[in-house]
Amino acid sequence: MSAAKTDTLPDPSKRDFLYITTGTAGAVGTASFVWPLIDQMNPDASTLALASIEVDVSSIEPGQAITVQWRGKPVFIRNRTDKELEEARNVSIAELKDPSSRNDNLDNGDATDINRSAGEGKENWIVMIGSCTHLGCIPVGLAGEYNGWFCPCHGSHYDTAGRIRKGPAPENLAIPKFQFINETNIKIG
């Protein structure tokens, strides 16, 4: 390569500008191709279509519970008896291991019984994700020292409002976003 003729070369600053523009455009192009490769791993449309479900709870009598599957996890829906409600209400926040309501329907709040239930007028209903907050096993209903739920994997005891009372689990059982869309149906998610 001999020395280039300076008069045929564009101005060096113009040339740098060209190189930088080309490089940037190439980088932008590559990055926009990478996004589809990443996004394809996100939940697809058929999965998202099942992100919310409706459950008919009219046949659940007080003292009964059902487990439904929502987003691949079990959800406990329990119609609590007056006795269970009473037990749960008589606990002061100070006694609780986790004082937070852990209720996705509330911005925040204490783990009072009303904050854990389906709300005013529906206090007897409790809807929770049935996945122990310790390591994800499924707790057993009507069991444990507090007569609520008991996780057999590592011995976590939850009370009748699904609050952690004893054992290794750090948090109360999580309450998903849900609402009564009419007297008989709950929409979860």
Partner 1 sequence: MKLITVFSRLIATGFAIAFTASVMTTAALAEGDGGTPHYPINHPKHVHWSFAGPFGHWDIGQLQRGLKIYTEVCAACHSMDLIAFRNLKDLGYSDEQVKAFAAEYEITDGPNLEGEMFERPGKPSDRFPGPYANSIEAANANNGAAPPDFSLLAKARAPERGFPTFIFDIFVLYAENGSDYIYSLLTGYQDAPEGVEVGEDTYYNPYYIGGKALAMAPPLEVDSVDYDDGTPQTVDQYSKDIAAFMMWAAEPTLVERKSMGFKVMLFLVIMSILIYFTKKSIFMNLKD
Partner 2 sequence: MSGGHSKYVPVNGVMKWMDERLPLPRLVYDSFVAYPVPRNLNNWYTFGAILSIFMVLQLITGIVLAMHYVSSTDMAFNSIESIMRDVNFGWLLRRMHANGASFFFLAVYIHIFRGMYYGSYKAPREVLWILGVFIFIIMMATSFMGYVLPWGQMSYWAATVITGLFSAIPIIGVPIQEWLLGGFAVGDPTLNRFFSLHYLLPFMLVGLVILHVWALHVVGQTNPTGVEVKDLKKETVPFTPYATMKDLFALALFFILFAYFVFYLPDYLGHPDNYIRANPLKTPAHIVPEWYFLPYYAILRAFDFNIGIPFTDIVLLDSKLAGVIAMFGSLIVLLFLPWLDFAKTRSGNYRPLFRQFFWIFALVCIGLGYLGSRPAEGGYVTAAQILTTAYFAHFLIILPLLSILEKPKPVPPSIADAILAKNKAA
Which residues are identified as catalytic?
154
- Select the span of 24-32, 73-81, 92-100, 167-175 touching partner 1 (CB under 8 A): 24-32
User: Is 37 a residue that touches partner 1 (CB under 8 A)?
Assistant: no
Question: Minimum distance between the CB of residue 102 and partner 1, rounded to whole angstroms?
Answer: 28
User: Is 45 a residue that touches partner 2 (CB under 8 A)?
Assistant: yes
Q: Which helix (H) or strand (E) holds 187?
A: strand 185-188
User: Which option in partner 2, partner 1, none does residue 120 bind, with CB closer than 5 to 8 A by kind?
Assistant: none
Question: Could you say which of 13, 40, 42, 46 contacts partner 1 (CB under 8 A)?
Answer: 46
Where b means 16+ CB within 10 Å and e means fewer, 143-181 reads: ebebbbbbbeeeebbbbbbbbbbebebeebbbbbebebe
Task: Quote the CA–CA distance of 151 and 137 in Å, as a whole number.
Answer: 7
User: Is 42 a residue that touches partner 2 (CB under 8 A)?
Assistant: yes
Task: Quote the CA–CA distance of 134 and 111 in Å, as a whole number.
Answer: 18
Residue numbers at the binding site for partner 2 (CB under 8 A)? 1, 35-37, 39-42, 44-47
